[in-house]
Amino acid sequence: MKCRLPLLLLSTLLLTFAPLSTLSIDLDKYVEPDIPDYGDEDIDEDERFLVKTSVCYGDLGCFSIKGKYFNLLHRPVVVVPQSPEVIGTKFLLFTRRNPASPAELHYKNAKSVLRSRFSNRRPTKLVIHGFLGKGVMGWMNRIRQAMLKRVDCNLIQVRFAAVSLTRGEDNGFQGKYVMVFNQWKLYSAALPASQVGWAGGSVTLYNQATSNTRVVGAVVARMLRWLHSRFGVDLDNVHVIGFSLGGHIAGYVGRRLRERGTPLGRITGLDPAGPYFEGTDPVVRLDPTDAKFVDAIHTDGALWRVGLPLLNGGFGIQSPVGHVDFFVNGGRHQPGCSSLGACDHSRAPQLYIDTLKTAKSKAFSAFPCDNYDKFMAGDCGSHCPSGGCPVMGLDAEKYKARFTGSRLPHRYYLLTGPCTPYSVVHYHRRLKQAKQEAAAEIEAFKLEREREFKAHEARILGSRTDSEKLVQEETRQRLSELSGSVRQNKEQAIRRLLTLLFDVQPRLHENFSRGKM
């Protein structure tokens, strides 16, 4: 039975994708295409498959799909990355002096840098997109605008084509292999061409895109090394922000720089991709060793099963990948999102944009806890150290010393609302009856919009004591019926209490407050 398990998993993969394929080729008339020679002899071949297992691209080095980059359960079908020419990575510079019209920076072209607004005296921030998204997509523009308003920096958008099959590029799988693993047509069949068309309308395939991230990471690292050596850019002041696959690209950038003795200052992973990265070795995915400080925001980290990597699980990674990991609403399902689509996944960049726009010191405060259930049970709210709980977003770096100098992982949890502004108040109440004390759930109570909020200023914006009295008064009115039932059936009373607390609307300045009755 043990020997049959790999074959069983492989059969499951084939049968899963077969009905979705639109591929139709006459096997008798099919002619095996030639494979371009990349100067690499490490090729495995048998009567059914013709698979290229490694490829080299000049000063970027060689990329093998053997060893840790292949895993029967987590990475069942892998291909070598496409060439840097096909991927076409671009570096578009924005600053406060050119916030809307970018200047393109070119590797080893000093004039492209000197003629731009780039300055080595400012911090540099790179923003990298993921799989299903163009470099000009909305969130990249919004994060650019919010970041430049918040920080005087060099903001570089890294744009690239995830994968192309329209230019005769050798993707490592040729001939009969494509006919067997006809999942290659899954995504083009499931998504409109306008959504998957990058680089001149090319078809995008997730398996190929995951492999291409390694080349993009190498290209970005090469550019940063050149800016460091040629223009004196301090890599301690370089911050790479990556969404989805971009989070792992940031990891590849940091690993290459660290291996060459010039470690990166910071990486922020915005819901780093889960499929083909969950459960893999740290060398394959984003990892705390990839920069001096790595923080990650998780919003769509449900586990996936082999055969349906993008249909029955989350798009994001569930495992901790940084010095500190923020699990928003448990890191899985986000309020305001349906169970279908990528809403949960795309919430991560939206949250990050909100953190840039929010000036309140305690907005997006997060709380350390072993897991989400304990957090929701109110067991972890008082565990913040004397320096206070960290905040998710750009200011998370203020707490770097706490995370980088202690044992990993550091899991932090917080709740958000269903729409922007996403920041909410976390409120914890303990009901005390006689000598027994029962903890109620932590609930998030969304602050009213500014226009509505001002109408209640006289009543709400008092002292903390006044605010607590207001909450206690509203709560007491709803708890009068529980005065006897607590003694008779404590568990039933607590369940009713949790339901009632959801309807109470406390409005406090403190992001996390505790009260007793």
Spans of all domains in the chain:
84-167+186-357, 425-516
| Rounded Cα–Cα distance for residues 30 and 50 (Å) | 15
To the query of whether residue 345 is one of the catalytic residues in this protein, the response is yes
pLDDT of residue 74: 87
d(CA 296, CA 99): 26
Predicted local confidence at residue 205, as pLDDT: 80
Q: Does domain 84-167+186-357 have CATH number 3.40.50.1820?
A: yes
Q: Quick check: is 21 catalytic?
A: no
Q: 3-class DSSP state for residue 328? A: strand
Which is catalytic among the residues 74, 345, 410, 426?
345
Tell me which of 271, 300, 344, 354 is the catalytic residue: 271
What is the spatial distance between Cα 378 and Cα 222, in angstroms, rounded to a whole number?
A: 47
Give the pLDDT of residue 479. 55
State residue 382's pLDDT score: 56
pLDDT in tens, 82-117: 999 999 999 999 999 999 999 999 999 999 999 999
Distance CA 137, CA 127 (A): 12
Q: Measure the CA–CA gap between 128 and 349, rounded to whole angstroms.
A: 11
Q: Which of 244, 319, 346, 423 is catalytic?
A: 244
* Amino acid symbol at 137: M
Count the Cβ atoms, other than its own, within 10 Å of residue 240: 32
Q: What is the pLDDT along the chain (517 residues), one digit of tens a residue?
A: 444 444 334 433 433 333 333 333 333 333 333 434 433 444 344 333 346 899 999 999 999 999 999 988 888 888 899 999 999 999 999 999 999 999 999 999 999 999 999 999 999 999 999 986 554 468 999 999 999 999 999 999 999 876 554 433 444 333 222 222 222 222 222 222 222 222 322 235 888 999 999 999 999 999 999 999 999 999 999 999 999 999 999 999 999 999 999 999 999 999 999 999 999 999 999 999 999 999 999 999 976 544 444 444 689 999 999 999 999 999 989 999 986 678 999 999 999 999 999 876 678 999 999 999 988 888 886 566 677 889 999 999 999 998 987 788 899 999 999 998 998 877 655 544 444 444 444 444 333 333 232 223 323 333 445 545 555 565 565 555 555 545 455 555 555 555 544 444 433 333 443 433 3
- Core vs surface per residue 11-45: b (16+ CB within 10 A) or e: eebeebbeeeeeeeeeeeeeeeeeeeeeebeeeee
Strands 43-45 vs 50-52: parallel, antiparallel or unpaired = antiparallel
Neighbour count for residue 297 (Cβ, 10 Å): 30
Is residue 378 within 8 Å of residue 438, measured between CB atoms? no
Mark whether 271 is an active-site residue: yes
